Amino acid sequence: MIPADLGPWCQSPSLREEVDLERIGAYRGLGEVFTEVLEIAGEHTSIAGRTCEGLPLVRVDLPGEESDGPVALVIGGIHAMEFIGVEVALALLRQLVRERGRRRVVLFPLLNPEGYLRAETDLRAGRRRFVRSNSVGVDLNRNWPTHWRTTRLPQRILTFLGSAGSAPLSEPEVAMVVEAMAPVAAERRLERALSLHSFGNKLLVPYGGRWRRPLGSDAHDGHALEVRARLRDRYHLTTPARWVPGLFAYGMELDHFHAWGADPLLVECSSGGLSLTDPASWLHPFRWFNPPDPTRQAAELAVALVPFLQG
Ligand SMILES: [Zn+2]
């Protein structure tokens, strides 16, 4: 049954109609994301939990060949302003519905609806503000148990980056995913796990919280290189810890995916929308993270990522 309380959200005015998105790109508001999920996935859609502010955490379950067979996990929109990641999650969902595969797919297309709604509200109001965290200022990608550490000095100074939370899993968004997927991982059925971010044209493999590479890193690299070979744009393979040497990312989903025994991949989708020849983009954080052609970029990434999930 379609969750009834998504209904009012689906009546929200279109972001495209209210904001001149010609140069920003044709992105969706929160209600439009929910509408799109329901249109694509219908009865496979459910509400898996609520944020602190009561916003729904939407989940889609697409069956595989066997009900208790292998599983692939997809997370989009863990960081508020990275709308292109949500568009890629929706494009993936469209493809996965058409081409059922061996694995059951569990997809959380927008894990940070509070942050997403803040970024959307800013766009509608014409405000240019960097938004990354949830409503209580926690970076949801520093709140996972693996390699978690209390908020580091750079984040304490640059508070807009968000804190790590008071403890691992302190945030309902992350706790919900872990509660849902940990039993699947314990049965060794979680085979693939993908998270969609932006920007930087990067394919990231573990670790974020350690310099050394983990067991299985050759296989992780192999999967990422296969994805890269299917992409028209140039993507660079690295680990979060080595992206900027000396800057570790503790408590990431990517490291937790690995701890679960899944083949993990984080995609920094696109190179964003910052253009040196367009001064209007220089001080517009939304544009830094989101390319002006989301439809093309999302479709190409989805084609490249389906075999990672189902191959
Ligand atoms: Zn991100």
Q: How far is CA 110 from the centre of its chain?
A: 7
Cα dihedral across residues 276, 278, 283, 285: positive or negative: negative
> CA Rg, the chain, in Å?
18
3-state secondary structure of 91: helix
* Ligand 1: centre distance to CA 287 (Å): 14
Q: Is 84 exposed, middle or buried (0-12, 13-18, 19+ CB in 10 A)?
A: buried
Calculate the alpha carbon distances from 275 to 162, 198, 271 in Å.
26, 16, 10
Per CATH, the number for 4-310 is 3.40.630.10
* Ligand 1: centre distance to CA 259 (Å): 20
* Ligand 1: centre distance to CA 5 (Å): 28
Phi/psi at 40 (nearest 5 deg)?
-80, -45
Q: Is 208 left (phi over 0), alpha (psi -120 to 50) or beta?
A: alpha
Q: Is 244 left (phi over 0), alpha (psi -120 to 50) or beta?
A: beta
3-state secondary structure of 58: strand
Delimit the domains of the chain by residue range. 4-310
pLDDT of residue 127: 92
* Ligand 1: centre distance to CA 78 (Å): 7
* Ligand 1: centre distance to CA 82 (Å): 6
Calculate the alpha carbon distances from 195 to 86, 127, 156, 200 in Å.
10, 28, 25, 14
* Ligand 1: centre distance to CA 77 (Å): 8
On whether the CB atoms of residues 181 and 105 are closer than 8 A, the answer is no
Q: How far is CA 294 from the centre of its chain?
A: 15
Q: Write out the chain's pLDDT in tens, 311 residues.
A: 456 678 888 888 888 877 776 678 889 999 999 999 999 999 999 999 999 999 999 999 999 998 899 999 999 999 999 999 999 999 999 999 998 899 999 999 999 999 999 999 999 999 999 999 999 999 999 999 999 999 888 778 888 889 999 999 999 999 999 999 999 999 999 999 999 999 999 999 999 999 999 999 999 999 999 999 999 999 999 999 999 888 899 999 999 999 999 999 999 999 999 988 988 889 999 999 999 999 999 999 999 999 999 98
* Ligand 1: centre distance to CA 1 (Å): 32
* Ligand 1: centre distance to CA 100 (Å): 28
